[in-house]
A and B are shown apart, each in its own frame.
Chain A
Amino acid sequence: MSAASGTPRVQPIEAALVLADGEVFEGEAFGARPDDGISSGEVVFNTVLAGYQEVITDPSYAGQIVTFTYPHLGNYGVNSEDHESRSTFLRGVVCRDLPRRHSNFRAETDLESFLISQGVAGIAGIDTRRLTRHIRDAGAMPGAFGAADEAALRAAAAAEPGTGGIDLVATVTCDAPYHRATTRDDGGRVWNVVALDYGIKSTIVEQLSRIANVTVVPASTSAEDILGHHPDGVFLSNGPGDPEAVVGATDTIGGLLGKLPIFGICLGHQLLSLTLGLSTYKLPFGHHGGNHPIRNLRTGIIEITSQNHNFNVVDEMVDGVEVTHVNINDHTVAGIACTDVPAFSVQYHPEAGPGPHDSRYLFADFDAMLADFHGGEN
């Protein structure tokens, strides 16, 4: 079980986090040690109590420094089963405390060793509540942290572009298609689904594979090439950053819309929306956590959901589009469906990983939509 006796940190290495607006937070460095002692990116916070491994390996955090509001990080170590992608893409980890010993029957290594192996730096000992409240009030903003001196950090924070207007998808998508065979065993028809990888999470592939053979293709794949795979449906994945900056995505989706059933999550939802003529905007500090209530407008039922996005779809009227889900914390759009073509998408993460399973029914909905479209009784 809790095999690995922790790595007792010898003398703490003093470090600091500096935000673009000049706020300074003192802490101790851990994880990888960049030569210049600086890591920079857009600072966001996540309020999950458990699930740090999934968050840290989620490609959607590309370009971001993730602050965990729950003070202890690493309690149950890291295992090889819960990764959300082949690697890590975030720029850094901020926490209040990094326990030196973990305990869990599935643990294979401790968080710090994992971060070091991934070349990711972290800073602990931070008053993360002060930091979170600052971001909540001032908005997500660039920042830099590390053992380097304050002036250097300040400069790095100022130089950091943030995530607006940058195509981060190119940095996380796979470079060649790959397949995931279905695990369907309920006798239902096995579909062939192409998943556009804007930064797809393993849990999504796993959930899709329960109803289909999944072919994951690079984000740059054209509509023609996708149709070339003769899929029954297309899935638009989650991913990092600003939807408007994702090169060519809307053309691709436009070329598929109406031809095949489409299901999108998070960035995929934003890209579908853009394709349909809706617009997107940046939220002040985004939604990152596992406790956001969403109302399904069709059933009235509340779903507690996993969320991770800084951009959102504008609540506006567009022909052929119906809003299906709303975030009842701030009343932002959380899901849409097309009224005349088979396509729907949600802003949050029904696959969970980490987070509640309340919304997994959406994969069944996709299954039904596929059956509907192909007339294949299910």
Chain B
Amino acid sequence: MPRRDDIESILLIGSGPIVIGQACEFDYSGTQACRVLREEGYRVILLNSNPATIMTDPEFADATYVEPLTLEVLTEIIKVEQPDALLPTLGGQTALNLAMEAVESGVLDEHGVELIGADAEAIATAEDRENFKVAMLEVGLDCLRSGVAHTMEEAREVIAEIGLPVIIRPAYILGGRGTGMAHTMEEFERVASYGLDASPISEILIEESILGWKEYELEVMRDHADNCVIICSIENLDPMGVHTGDSITVAPSQTLTDIEYQKMRDDAFTCMRRVGVETGGSNVQFAVHPETGRQVVIEMNPRVSRSSALASKATGFPIAKIAARLAVGYTLDEIPNDITEKTPASFEPTIDYVVTKVPRWAFEKFPGTKPVLGTQMQSVGEVMAIGRTFTESLQKALRSLELGRFGLNCDAGEAAYDDMPLDELLDAASVGTPERIFQLEACLRRGKTVDEVYAATKVDPWFLDQMLVISEERARLAEVGLAAMSRLDWRRAKRLGFSDAQLAYLWSADGADVAAVAAARREAGVLPTYKTVDTCGAEFEADTPYHYSTWEDTTEVASSDRPKVIILGSGPNRIGQGIEFDYCCVHASFALRDAGFETIMVNCNPETVSTDYDTSDRLYFEPLTHDDVMNIIEAEEASAVAGGGPGIAGIIVSLGGQTPLKLAGDLPAGLVAGTSPESIDLAEDRERWNALCERLGIAQPPGGTAKDLDEALAVVAEVGYPALMRPSYVLGGRAMTIVHDEEGLRDAMAELAAFGSLGKEGGLSAERPVLVDRFLEDAIEVDVDAIRDHTGEVIIGGIMEHVEEAGVHSGDSACMIPPQSLSASVLAELEATTAALATELEVEGLLNVQYAVTAAGGDGSVYVLEANPRASRTVPFVAKATGRPLVKIATRVMLGATLAELREEGMLGDIAEGDHIAVKEAVLPFNRFPETDQLLGPEMRSTGEVMGIDLEVGLAFAKSQIAAGDLLPSEGAVFFSVADRDKAAGLAAAQAYRGLGFDIVATAGTAAMLRDAGVDVSGVAAKIGAPPDSDEGSVDLPDVVELIEAGRIQIVVNTPRGRGARADGAYIRNAASRAGLPLFTTIAAAAAAAHGIADMAAHPLQVRPLQAYHEGVHK
């Protein structure tokens, strides 16, 4: 049956902010769905709170609601839009759960909205672990012995039945949140109760542990005619026990015979049919016993998932796109395979290469949390690499991670493992950690046999032996030596995935460097070739240029006669560099394609829109290293020569965050589009930057640089406390700290010095001094994004006033457009200074400047904190708030267009001049790292962001809080415990809450201060741990942790008391987050929230699409 004509409008739910376990793969799937459904002529209505996504670009839907993902909002949208259908399977767990709420609330029936792509019953069967197991047993599939519990009592009964060890998993959770292992009864008690809390329906599955079994996934698609196909099989290198999202995974499966694979295939279909997913994609996970082959079903996700994004990139089969078509009535055989164009989508992709995915973690940002992998996902991003063999793809993947590694060891990074005693090393490798893969190779290279390593780690011997092949070839190459390398030696080495950098390291003794190695290799005539991802193992012709490098006979890059632009992507998501930069790269590609360029995308992140094969004219799925990029440049120049084209017009390095910037310096001079690498350095180089600011008379926080304690003390003697310590050459405020006195300074320097946490990142030295600045207290932080063209014209894209004061990393603080408390003269000064900097830095493209404005509100003085002549994290937010496509404009400017010309083209539009306010709020992953203190500081730790938009500041802020997961209560008790220096401001906030009818509970000191000021404090909480009456007099309540656990507190306001605050403060903050209470660690945010609560009480909830705001909505 073809397209359904009985529905006209479809409401799509996105996945909201980027969080661990749910990243930009859902922007990829959602964007594909939006495109397809509009191509099919449907009216598309989108709900997603994440402004950094492509899917929320106004042109991707007819009505785009950037609003909180709550039932209340969804209901409102349904009332306004009256959609015919709701498609919930492309927005991850979040969309699925919200859709389920909607079904239960009856709002869909009430408004005649049909749930398409999945039905409620199917979702319930798959998502509820008990129902699922029953269903599987019903159709004869093997599952694990287990039981379900809703209380600790029930849990104990179950454990009595199945016995330890067990794994405990909550129902309705994503990325394994709250999941854990228990080997002892103590562990069991802890993990079980944590799991019960984590599950929204407080239900956990207690299951026999099958640690060490082999883990597999199949990506399945089904249409309503019951045609079923497998898109991809994936085998985990890390055995059961490490979450798939945290495992190194390989496609296709490597160690299953056809007999076993076909059984798994049959079972996957049986599972999907029984669960009742009628159309779309699902993911079924299996475990296989390595000795007996017993095969059990672990779980199924009745929706597109992280794995289906991976499978799509791995095979070229666009699962989400097809799923969207199936949802509106098509059958697989009615949809063409857009890579071959000739064959239909009702087939099973076959591949002639190996794909390896490796996750990337951010443990260093969460002190207190051990970097140990388990059944709960903790990685923040991933890379994928394609090679003709496993060895090649693994080494490519490892160098794609951007952790300074050039492959599977054979680089400076391996020292760490070679110093360790061998048996210790093997013990270390027996635990899943980010380092494990490197430890495995080191163990093998240093003499452990494959069987010994297998016994200790349960990593399949096939994978281990492949690693050993790399080690042995390395030894052989070391003997051969650079001088004696034959063409066949080179070919062999390259085909095993060795990078020139690894070989240079290997031969460094004979003074070889990368350039020498590359030269010798070329001399020997061994050059990279590019093959194509075509879904069919070359059986049919493919027109889609989706390439990967490998070392074969012939290359498949087609000739071309159009001017080319190469866009370097941002690599794996990490904290500080995520989806917002992919957004920038994709926009650049769209803008340049429209302007007639041939766009060439280079990236290695499978979650992204940029690595969708039809985002750009050509896609190279490659590591973003110097070697790999230079090879691509060569290949594209060859393609231009062959096609008689003008060649490469430019390489874009300023839109992918730090990743491409780091490469800019060594790229062919003149090819870098826009702002020159020199200007970029100028802004980064402290000395030259200071000089520049002086020349322009721009104020900076007083400060200096120090490479040791004495120098640091000297600087502080000058600038005074508090001071901000920031190591140079780090990202996202890595390891920045605020010190309030000498003791703090000493601690911080110790931390930063070689032995501290930064040690492995280089420690301190003359080249890597620490920057010591006067810390500007109570300063308002402001971000400004601007564009300058080569004629010197500058436009200000947006001025963002942060809610939290300077000192909270710009990436972690809420901010609003337009600014609310800055005077006209301050705004004028900000614009003028930004323009002056743009001119002085000779920016051609985007510039982001961060300021701190002291003496809040009044005509305070403006200090510049830093300037980045590149796309900033805030660009997508500004574009969504103002309606002006900053990146598209900037990209055209980088390739020579002037703002005047673009104004002619109508590309500049005019900044929406309605009365709306947009607030960006950061989303932090603390729930994944319960041991870590939640304090916000100059080190960025958020994984994602949301936007709240409305006509009242308070409403916009409230929406941003709700979207970020904090439902602001309208009544109850607010707990205050604030640092002395915050007391004045704290008073105002407390009065505001009191005014709203909240009770005020405080700690002794804060309470005294409030009472003195005439605020009525309903209760004084004891010191943590101390019994109520221990404190002299006043105290009349137990400590706040107890109060929170007893549900007697609804909002927690706790600001850090400089040092020492950690102890109590950390308890309070963690208790708050365990209880899921709104927690404010700055008075500014607390006050804004009070404002929000007031406005929410005063105004009914209203939702409006971005398109309307961009037209201009007035009060």
Contacts and interface: CB of A to CB of B under 8 A. Distances in A.
Question: Are A and B associated in one complex?
Answer: yes
Interface of A: 1-2, 5-6, 14, 25-26, 45, 47-51, 53-54, 69-72, 75-76, 79, 81-82, 96-97, 99-106, 127-130, 132-133, 136, 289-293, 295, 300-302, 304, 328-329, 352-357
Contacts of A79: 257
A101 B462 contact: yes
A355 B262 contact: yes
22 contacts: A2-B462, A5-B450, A14-B488, A25-B553, A45-B539, A49-B233, A49-B252, A76-B257, A82-B259, A96-B388, A96-B389, A104-B255, A104-B256, A104-B257, A130-B553, A132-B538, A300-B225, A301-B226, A329-B540, A356-B348, A357-B265, A357-B266
B389 A72 contact: yes
Give 7 closest A-B pairs by Cβ, nearest first: A51-B258, A354-B258, A101-B465, A69-B537, A103-B462, A291-B348, A127-B553
B255 A76 contact: yes
A70 B350 contact: yes
A79 B158 CA distance: 41
B225 A301 contact: yes
A272 to B, nearest CB: 27
A99 B257 contact: no
A47 B255 CA distance: 17
A47 B347 contact: no
A121 to B, nearest CB: 20
A329 B343 contact: yes
Which residue, A75, A290, A357, has most C-beta atoms of chain B within 10 A?
A75
Contacts of B257: 50-51, 53, 76, 79, 82, 104, 106
Main secondary structure, interface of A, reads loop
Contact of B352 (A128, A300, A329): A128
Contacts of A355: 258, 262
Given A295-B333, A355-B258, A105 B462 contact: no
Interface residues of B, number: 59
Given A99-B466, A130-B552, A292 B347 contact: yes
B347 A69 contact: no
B490 to A, nearest CB: 13
Contacts, number: 171
B347 A103 contact: no
B291 interface: yes
Contacts of A53: 257-258
Contacts of B229: 304
Contacts of A292: 347
A99 B333 contact: no
A130 B556 CA distance: 9
Contacts of B877: none
A168 B291 CA distance: 41
B263 to A, nearest CB: 9
A72 B253 CA distance: 11
B262 A357 contact: yes
B554 A130 contact: yes
B259 to A, nearest CB: 6
Interface in B523-559: 531, 536-541, 552-554
State the majority secondary structure of interface residues on B.
Answer: loop
Contacts of A1: 290-291, 461
A100 B469 contact: yes
Nearest to A353: B258
A25 to B, nearest CB: 7
Contacts of A45: 539
Nearest to A79: B257
Given A48-B258, A328-B333, A133 B538 contact: yes
Contacts of B252: 49-50, 70
B276 interface: no
B1030 interface: no
A356 B261 CA distance: 9
Contacts of A49: 233, 252-253, 261, 350-351
B346 interface: yes
A105 B536 CA distance: 29
Given A72-B354, A72-B389, A105-B290, A328 B258 contact: no
A177 B746 CA distance: 92
A295 B331 CA distance: 13
B254 A69 contact: no
B460 interface: yes
Nearest to A137: B541
Nearest to B345: A293
Interface of B: 225-227, 229, 233, 252-262, 265-266, 289-293, 332-333, 342-344, 346-354, 388-390, 450-451, 460-462, 465-466, 469, 488, 531, 536-541, 552-554
A105 B451 CA distance: 14
Contact of A97 (B262, B266, B389, B465): B389
B539 A356 contact: no
Contact of A101 (B348, B352, B461): B461
B470 to A, nearest CB: 13
A243 to B, nearest CB: 23
Contacts of A356: 262, 265, 348
Contacts of A48: 258, 350
Contacts of A72: 254, 354, 389-390
A69 B352 contact: yes
B262 A302 contact: no
A50 B226 contact: no
Contacts of A47: 350, 352, 536-537, 539
A51 B352 CA distance: 15
Given A47-B537, A132-B537, A293 B347 contact: yes
Nearest to B333: A302
A129 B531 contact: yes
A106 B259 CA distance: 11
Contacts of B292: 105
A315 to B, nearest CB: 18
A71 B353 contact: yes
Contacts of A290: 258, 348, 350
A107 B462 CA distance: 13
A79 B257 CA distance: 10
Given A70-B537, A71-B352, A128-B352, A301 B227 contact: yes
B31 to A, nearest CB: 28
B462 A99 contact: yes
B254 A105 contact: no
B326 to A, nearest CB: 13
Nearest to B535: A291
Contacts of B465: 6, 99-101
Contacts of B226: 301
A295 B553 CA distance: 38
A301 B538 CA distance: 26
Nearest to A46: B537
B262 to A, nearest CB: 6
B255 A291 contact: no
Given A100-B469, A101-B462, A133-B538, A75 B255 contact: yes
Contacts of B260: 104
Contacts of B291: 1, 105
B460 A136 contact: no
Contacts of B388: 71, 96-97, 129
B537 A293 contact: no
A71 B252 CA distance: 11
A50 B235 CA distance: 13
A70 B352 contact: yes
Given A70-B352, A329-B347, 13 more contacts: A25-B553, A49-B252, A49-B350, A69-B538, A72-B389, A81-B259, A104-B256, A104-B260, A105-B289, A130-B554, A132-B538, A291-B349, A328-B344
Given A72-B354, A106-B293, A355-B262, A302 B346 contact: yes
Nearest to B289: A105
Contacts of B469: 100
Given A50-B258, A104-B257, A328 B346 contact: yes
Contacts of B262: 352, 354-357
